[in-house]
């Protein structure tokens, strides 16, 4: 087993990172290994220095990688060499002092509240299996603010329908309980009945395709994009936009920032505070429109 595989196993089994995170780290490492092989004829962790890492970063920028992607790749190398130092394979971290490309801060996009109410209440979804399932997908993403991976892992037993609570397993296998709107119960029951009748019972996963297979990421993206296109002109129409909308609408209606942090499953408040910028922008617009000296 090489050092890359040892690192990947460490992420998967000790840190218990998500499969998405592990896959991203593995791809970044494979890309760096290929670069080193092209530049110095081999990949030897003891021969990697800051100059080699800087050269890779420059090449990535010249190939027009986004700053966010480059920063993640640098973070991958930092984590990899920290792991090697911890295991006394190398003495220093060559990625430690590599400057990160500046990222232009972009506020999260969100769908207006009345647009989502219009989508969910005004007959956009058919009453067949696919229509009911798709409506449940959109309703759960917006009604609970859960991540895509959390949605895809949901099981029937995760719902406390009496208390209108849902249990999800988030990043790093952290469990949290989220309240949800009461009207989800009726939609959930409708979906389960039509699924069991037309596709079959599926105790291991809630959301399935017409063939009874678990719903997957690309399908969910297609579903969300299809319906959001009908109610918003936002450039990005993804499951995460519904999570952004959930958080923004809660804050717009006066929810406590720390409470929203817990609902979203954020480990620190700074990740949640970005949504306050969105609400501040809205307040500024309202002020300028309404105040005589605005």
Has residue 106 been placed in a domain? no
Q: What is the mean pLDDT of each run of 10 residues along the chain (294 residues)?
A: 87 87 92 93 92 91 86 94 93 90 72 94 94 98 95 95 92 86 95 94 89 95 96 91 93 87 85 69 58 52
- Is 213 catalytic? The answer is no
- Is 249 catalytic? The answer is no
Q: Which tokens go with 123?
A: 């007959």
Do residues 189 and 249 both lie within one domain? yes
- Is 130 catalytic? The answer is no
Q: Residue 227 is part of a domain; what is its CATH number? A: 1.10.443.10
Has residue 13 been placed in a domain? yes
Do residues 134 and 259 both lie within one domain? yes
Has residue 260 been placed in a domain? yes
Q: Which of 130, 171, 176, 225 is catalytic?
A: 171
Range of the domain at 69: 3-86
Do residues 223 and 78 both lie within one domain? no
Read off the pTM.
0.65
- Is 211 catalytic? The answer is no
In the prediction, which pLDDT does 144 show?
A: 95
In the prediction, which pLDDT does 252 show?
A: 85
Q: Which of 243, 244, 249, 261 is catalytic?
A: 243
* H-helix or E-strand spanning residue 160: strand 159-160
Has residue 235 been placed in a domain? yes
Counted domains in the chain: 2
- Give CA 75 to chain center in angstroms: 18
Q: Residue 45 is part of a domain; what is its CATH number? A: 1.10.150
- Is 240 catalytic? The answer is yes
Has residue 52 been placed in a domain? yes
Q: Which of 135, 147, 244, 261 is catalytic?
A: 147
- Is 253 catalytic? The answer is no
Do residues 75 and 119 both lie within one domain? no
In the prediction, which pLDDT does 294 show?
A: 46
In the prediction, which pLDDT does 153 show?
A: 93
Confirm if 132 and 140 have CB atoms less than 8 A apart: no
Q: Is the dihedral of CA 119, 122, 126, 131 positive or negative?
A: positive
Has residue 9 been placed in a domain? yes
Residues 6+ positions from 65 with CB-CB distance below 8 Å? 73
């Amino acid at each position: 087993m090489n050092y890359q595989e040892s690192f990947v196993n460490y992420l998967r089994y000790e840190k218990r990172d998500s499969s998405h995170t592990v896959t991203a780290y593995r791809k970044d490492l494979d890309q760096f290994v290929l670069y080193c092989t092209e530049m110095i004829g081999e990949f030897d962790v003891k021969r990697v220095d800051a100059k080699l890492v800087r050269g890779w970063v420059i090449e990535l920028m010249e190939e027009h990688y986004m700053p966010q992607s480059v920063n993640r790749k640098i973070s991958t190398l930092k984590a990899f060499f920290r792991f090697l130092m911890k295991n006394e394979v190398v003495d220093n971290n060559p990625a430690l002092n590599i400057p990160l490309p500046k990222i232009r801060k972009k506020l999260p996009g969100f769908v207006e509240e009345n647009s989502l109410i219009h989508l969910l209440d005004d007959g956009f979804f058919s009453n067949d299996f696919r229509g009911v399932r798709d409506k449940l997908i959109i309703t759960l993403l917006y009604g609970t603010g859960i991540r895509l991976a959390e949605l895809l892992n949901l099981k029937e037993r995760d719902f406390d329908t009496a208390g209108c609570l849902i249990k999800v397993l988030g990043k790093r296998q952290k469990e949290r309980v989220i309240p949800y709107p009461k009207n989800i119960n009726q939609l959930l029951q409708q979906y389960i009945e039509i699924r069991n009748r037309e596709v079959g019972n599926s105790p291991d996963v809630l959301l399935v395709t017409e063939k009874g297979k678990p719903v997957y990421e690309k399908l969910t993206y297609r579903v969300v994009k299809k319906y959001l296109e009908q109610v918003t002109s936002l450039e990005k129409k993804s499951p995460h936009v519904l999570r952004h909308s959930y958080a923004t609408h809660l804050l717009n209606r006066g929810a406590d920032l720390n409470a929203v942090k817990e609902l979203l499953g954020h480990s620190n408040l700074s990740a949640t505070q970005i949504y306050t910028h969105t609400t501040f922008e809205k307040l500024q617009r309202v002020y300028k429109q309404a105040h005589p000296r605005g």
